[in-house]
Amino acid sequence: MKTIIKLQLLILTLALSVISCSSDDDATQELSGENNLTIEFDNSVNGDDLLLGTSSYTNSNGETLTINRFNYIVSNFVLIDAEGNEYVYPKDDSYFVVSEEEAMNEVVLENIPAGDYVAMRFGVGVDQEKYLQGAEGQGDFLQIAEETEMMWSWQAGYKFLNFEGIFTSATVTEATNFQIHMGSHGSSLDNYKEVTVELPTTALVSESLSPIVHFAVDANEILDGNTKILLSEKAVVMIDEVKSPQIAVNATGMFRVDHVHNGENIEH
């Protein structure tokens, strides 16, 4: 009887071992190959949809804004997996304009290696290394930036953020134009910033899985974020040694991942 029991236990152990190995093999197989990872940017204002030129939004500064333009540059994407390994997206292909008025709200990162990605790091703006490659080193991105109002001139550089509209306040009762253009101006005013976000759900990439990462981007953070920026004090901010760096930091707070879709051809 003991021999039979031992034999049964041995058979059970071997069966569990085979199942375990098979499961591991399946998991490894599921996350093999490469695929695209899509990032969608859904622009809003303090929880409300951003509607250019038609809706008004009041911030905690007591200023009411009608927004006519909301464009920004995102760049230098890095994907971080569950083990802390980083995949750096090819730098020459890693610069994108997100434009509400041009309906440019999707970034596709191509040929991402299979993995279970739990976080993402990216830049807001264009880093000095890229800019110093000269106009010939910018590729097609230079023309895209020019066409979407994200350049002052080549000598003056890129606009990392182009935020425009009209506003009123308790002290500015007549509708007044505002312009917030944030960029870098020489080594003394480098406003390129990086953002790291955690994903609420692991983004799974494999030969058969192409995830969509959905960002909720809050334009309210530009003026109403870490530092309060009063348009009634200065309605046009372009090159300001005090306010421009503050706006650059505020802009990093705009980005939050709302959800992740894992799969292909998912309605969203």
Q: Is 223 left (phi over 0), alpha (psi -120 to 50) or beta?
A: alpha
Residue with tokens 């264009």: 126
d(CA 203, CA 81): 9
Query: Could you tell me whether strands 34-45 and 212-218 are parallel, antiparallel, or unpaired per DSSP bridges?
Result: parallel
Task: State which amino acid sits at residue 25.
Answer: D
Q: What is the pLDDT along the chain (268 residues), one digit of tens a residue?
A: 444 444 444 444 444 444 444 333 444 346 789 999 999 999 999 999 999 999 999 999 999 999 999 999 999 999 999 999 999 999 999 999 999 999 999 999 999 999 999 999 999 999 999 999 999 999 999 999 999 999 999 889 999 999 999 999 999 999 999 999 999 986 668 999 999 999 999 999 999 999 999 999 999 999 999 999 999 999 999 989 999 999 999 999 999 999 999 976 444 4
pLDDT digits (tens, 9 = 90+) for 196-220: 999 999 999 999 999 999 999 999 9
CB burial of residue 205 (10 Å; 0-12, 13-18, 19+): buried
Give, in order, the Cα–Cα distances in Å from 202 to each of 81, 185, 210, 217, 258: 9, 38, 12, 20, 12
Token pair listed for 144: 């895209």
Classified as helix, coil or strand, 177 is strand
pLDDT digits (tens, 9 = 90+) for 111-152: 999 999 999 999 999 999 999 999 999 999 999 999 999 999
Cα 8 from chain centroid (whole Å): 56
d(CA 216, CA 60): 20
Spans of all domains in the chain: 1-30, 35-261
d(CA 27, CA 21): 10
